[in-house]
Amino acid sequence: MSTAETSALTEPPWARPLAVGALAAMQAFLGLWRLATPSWHVDELVYALAGRAYLAGDLTPTREHPPLGKYLIGLPQALLFESAGTARLLPTIAGALTGVGLFVLVRRTLGFWAGIAAWAAWVLLPRSVGLIETGTHLQMVRLERLALLDVFAATGMVAALVAGWWWARRGGWLPAVATGACVGLGVASKLPAASIGLVVAGAVLAHRRRWRDVAELGVAGATSVAVFALTYLPYGRAAPDALRYMFEHQLDHAAEGHLVYAGGSVHAKPPWWVFLAYQVEADGRVLTAATVTAVLVALALVRHPVRWYLLAALVVPLAVLTLSPVVIRHYRYLALPAQAALIGLGLWALLRRPGAWRVAGVVLALPFALASVRDVHRIATLQVSDYQRLGQVLDAAGPEPTVVLRGPTSVAAHYAPEARWRHDLPEDGQVAAVVLDPPSMLLQPDPDLEARVEDLGYVETTLGRLRVFLAPELAAATGIG
């Protein structure tokens, strides 16, 4: 009798339904609780407005990315009402489906409890992408709670992994078509999702090398292209122009580069170690060390080819992205599902063994457990802050207050539409407030501005992550200071 069969006979009948129900409930809470509370991220505001426009028939905004993610962000806004919560609804559902996909993949290969371990790692572990690009600092550590395209791309990539494993092990036209469709859906949200096609193709060729298998690869590739093209059907005859614009924009962006903050300094071009720096800055050294250890344990103790499949799904997208001149921090989200699955498998491999192995598993699980508790607490206690709170403060400043802002003007203007926004202090220094957003100040430091502001005698406070200097009369009117 196998270990899995013995376990099935000895575990109580309610154990599996309880595990599934508990993880589903926790995923729902962590995904939906106070979903509309955090301020807009600068990119998600763009995508939310674009999604509304797309559903209204205007397909011109933000053509630099494929349209599927924007359709999905706009759909709940069109069906329900326009808000941050509705714009973020389908991304958080997509994030939940990503975890379910990991469960299905690992359950098919290693059994129910291994699948639960992979799913639990996705549900419970924080998925921070750090301070710079998220725009919400430590209050928002799960990207799927934001209306960003990367979330849909990651879901398509995990779906491709599930279908691709089925195809690699069994062959056939149907698995090939299903895999190609999943890849196409991921790429239709964001182009880097195409990297998962390399992982799946490698798995197929590792198991099958007949001419029919090569033909199946061709069918899968053609299907992915067809599914991608279908998302451009609403463009009609303008579809070729939209595609041309997207690719030209991506090439221009790559040629111009993008400033990144990594390893304590600003880089015009991302260094080769940029994703490691992002990992450490997002999770800290202890959690990063635990992550590396858990992944290595999974590779050493899980005696099944799926571990190499997941490792490829972790490494290949990051390697492909590293070759790009534009490596923004939240791009690493595309590799986080595979990373979470490997962490879960590493802990599962240790905890299912007796004696010293289990003790080692408990010790290794401690930093992950602490991080999970901290993450759950942050989401459970979310409050209005940052730019939403700034808008409330400026309401007391009278009509059309002048504000110096070093940060995303589009987000600030959304919450304080009557304010007049400036980049620099006027000569007399008379403004209602000076707002310094840490991401902007790290990428473009201005010590002279900070020194002038401190000399003005304004009241300094913090609104979430924002460092704000208020005119004395405004501070008094709002009870700050």
Distance CA(392)–CA(205), nearest Å, equals 58
> Which pair of structure tokens corresponds to residue 68?
């599927």
- Whether the per-residue pLDDT at 444 is higher than 70: the answer is yes
Q: What is the mean pLDDT of residues 26-52?
A: 93
Q: What is the mean pLDDT of residues 135-141?
A: 44
- Give the tens place of pLDDT for each residue, 249-302: 988 888 888 888 887 788 888 888 989 988 888 888 999 999 999 999 999 999
> Which pair of structure tokens corresponds to residue 154?
């990651």
Q: What is the mean pLDDT of residues 366-372?
A: 94
- Inter-CA distances, 451 with 192, 298, 465, Å: 42, 51, 19
Which domains are delineated in the chain?
Answer: 3-380 (no CATH), 386-478 (3.40.50)
What is the Cα 201 distance to its own chain's centre? Answer: 25
User: Which residue in this structure is represented by tokens 């599996």?
Assistant: 16
Distance CA(143)–CA(145), nearest Å, equals 5
Maximal C-alpha separation, the chain? 84
The pLDDT score that the predictor gives to residue 253 is 86
> Which pair of structure tokens corresponds to residue 140?
């928002």
For a pLDDT cut of 90, what percent of the chain falls above it?
69
Confidence of residue 103 (pLDDT cuts 50, 70, 90): very high
> Which pair of structure tokens corresponds to residue 204?
């197929």
Residues with Cβ within 8 Å of residue 198, at least 6 apart in sequence: 316, 320
Distance CA(115)–CA(106), nearest Å, equals 5
- Whether the per-residue pLDDT at 128 is higher than 80: the answer is no
- Please report the DSSP string for 96-131 in residue order: HHHHHHHHHHHHHHH-HHHHHHHHHHHHHS-B---S
The pLDDT score that the predictor gives to residue 7 is 55
Residue 403, strand partner residues: 421, 433
Distance CA(328)–CA(196), nearest Å, equals 19
- Give the tens place of pLDDT for each residue, 321-360: 998 888 888 899 999 999 999 999 999 999 999 999 999 9
Confidence of residue 87 (pLDDT cuts 50, 70, 90): very high
The pTM of the full predicted model, rounded to 2 decimals, is 0.92
The pLDDT score that the predictor gives to residue 2 is 45
Confidence of residue 457 (pLDDT cuts 50, 70, 90): confident
Q: What is the mean pLDDT of residues 139-164?
A: 90
Confidence of residue 185 (pLDDT cuts 50, 70, 90): very high
Across 236-270, b (16+ Cβ under 10 Å) vs e yields eeebeebbeebeeeeeeeeeeebebbbeeeebeeb
What average pLDDT does the structure give for the chain?
90
- Whether the per-residue pLDDT at 131 is higher than 90: the answer is no
Q: What is the mean pLDDT of residues 213-226?
A: 93
- Whether the per-residue pLDDT at 429 is higher than 80: the answer is no
